[in-house]
Structure 1
């Protein structure tokens, strides 16, 4: 029986403990700051915020390039000879990373690529669905595994409120950013993944503590999320009392397991400090 290896990008923000437990291979994306290119994961998030405080400039991010993908998939094949690789990629609607993986895939046999149409915790939720399925059915045929993963891609739901609108606007990843408008700088927008695109769908007013309550209520009212697992995503700077309240709310709503995911440097470059998000898979 040939071993199946799962892989994804650093933009999934998959916690290291889960990546290690399920042997998920992670290829880094890039953060470019002050003219220097950093691999996502090699740069502290705090350094990004310090840089902005000093310069009022925001770093920009770039995708994993075809050469890096070639080295990445080659390394996996070297470490796990004769393996089958199933790569679950960052949404193609917000990055060229998946397209670069497609280019590289032409050089490899038994390499399956799945466009997750999601980012950060929404992407991590799909990866973890695949990992637990593979753990439960280690002899699953790769085609069946891919079919099952692709079937839940449209069921992975991510909603988040960025900590800083300045970071969001500068990042340019939200398709209707003009909707936010300069006059709305005190408004906290709700960002969701719709058909793989980051879209501002609603506006919240008030302190972050109250906004997170509304976020959770709206999310659970809109989506019938599987109670077995919920993911909370946060960027550094979120108040600990908010985390505690979110845990309580999740428990009150019947979630059996909650996993907190810290946004890495790449995602934090767009979300800013103190952001909060929710991700899960619909039943």
Structure 2
């Protein structure tokens, strides 16, 4: 690590390994607890085993990284030559990860700026990439933070789920909203708004939800240059079909990623998740 400013993020950014290596981004994993086992996301638990556990209605919870995990990550990147660190994390409204990073940053060997992006999944990932690109061009600590925050402000996240039950059980959506969705037998379209998961629209069938999700992404992208990510959990065919349609309908899409979310997000959404991230350039 010869860069002046190092980038650290958490495992919910779901950045491909090759991108992490290319941009020298360090990842601190969150934890998924299944029964009596606490397993690190991305290394010790597969999405397949998670989906199986969720379908069996086994107890699955998630946990933020410990401050000690961040302390170790900051120590390592400083030892590799970093003079400052920008630590970018998922929304503090839905996880305590940001707080753990802030605590660790107080005793780090180099200055650390911890940023609550208000995002998750590739919405967080795109912010980390922008920060890494700015750092690679010799950006200062503040300039790197600014690049990350600017990308986050211009990124939108939308998704639909088969049921709101997993979000309700994890406390990520209100019981009243979950009950309404179940009572009316609707398929909700959700968005990440100011760091919180909010109901955007309600439609009657899964096919209509996917079609509406596509329209929302196309409208959000408009005629601007964008990066797009399509996420899923145990729904690869639907994700590829949506991505292919978006390639044909969004005129200035620069990068389009298709990937399965990891165990932490999957634990709160359940199998059948289909989501899209639109990041304006």
TM-score over 0.5 (shorter chain): yes
CA distance in 2, matches of 1:97, 1:129: 21
Q: Aligned in 2, Cα 1:198/1:29: closer, same or farther, shift over 3 Å? A: same
Structure 1's unaligned 5+ residue stretches are: none
CA distance in 1, matches of 2:239, 2:119: 25
- Kindly tell me the number of residue pairs found equivalent between the two proteins: 276
Matched with 2:156 is 157
- 1:258 Cα shift? 0.8
How does the TM-score come out when normalised to structure 2? Answer: 0.89
Matched with 1:112 is 113
- 1:225 Cα shift? 7.9
Q: Aligned in 2, Cα 1:90/1:239: closer, same or farther, shift over 3 Å? A: closer
Residue of 244, 248, 271 corresponding to 1:247: 244
CA distance in 1, matches of 2:279, 2:242: 21
Matched with 1:220 is 218
Is 1:53–2:55 an aligned residue pair? yes
Q: Aligned in 2, Cα 1:31/1:225: closer, same or farther, shift over 3 Å? A: farther
Q: Secondary structure at the match of 2:130?
A: helix
Matched with 1:98 is 98
Deviation per residue, 1:98-119 (Å, 9 max, x gap): 0111111111232121111111
CA distance in 2, matches of 1:130, 1:158: 19
- 1:242 Cα shift? 4.9
Decide whether the 8 Å contact of 1:171 with 1:270 is kept in 2.
yes
Matched with 2:167 is 168
Deviation per residue, 1:151-198 (Å, 9 max, x gap): 332222111112443322222212x34123164473221121111111
How does the TM-score come out when normalised to structure 1? Answer: 0.89
Q: Secondary structure at the match of 2:254?
A: coil
Decide whether the 8 Å contact of 1:225 with 1:281 is kept in 2.
no
- 1:204 Cα shift? 2.2
Deviation per residue, 1:93-146 (Å, 9 max, x gap): 1111101111111112321211111111211121122233344x2x22222121
Decide whether the 8 Å contact of 1:125 with 1:279 is kept in 2.
no
CA distance in 1, matches of 2:220, 2:278: 12
Q: Aligned in 2, Cα 1:29/1:113: closer, same or farther, shift over 3 Å? A: same
Matched with 1:267 is 265
Moved more, 162-171 or 106-115: 162-171
Is 1:34–2:35 an aligned residue pair? yes
Structure 2's unaligned 5+ residue stretches are: none
CA distance in 2, matches of 1:49, 1:2: 39
Matched with 2:142 is 143
CA distance in 2, matches of 1:31, 1:67: 17
Q: Secondary structure at the match of 1:130?
A: helix
Q: Secondary structure at the match of 1:64?
A: coil
Q: Aligned in 2, Cα 1:34/1:214: closer, same or farther, shift over 3 Å? A: same
Decide whether the 8 Å contact of 1:121 with 1:261 is kept in 2.
no
CA distance in 2, matches of 1:241, 1:52: 20
Matched with 1:197 is 196
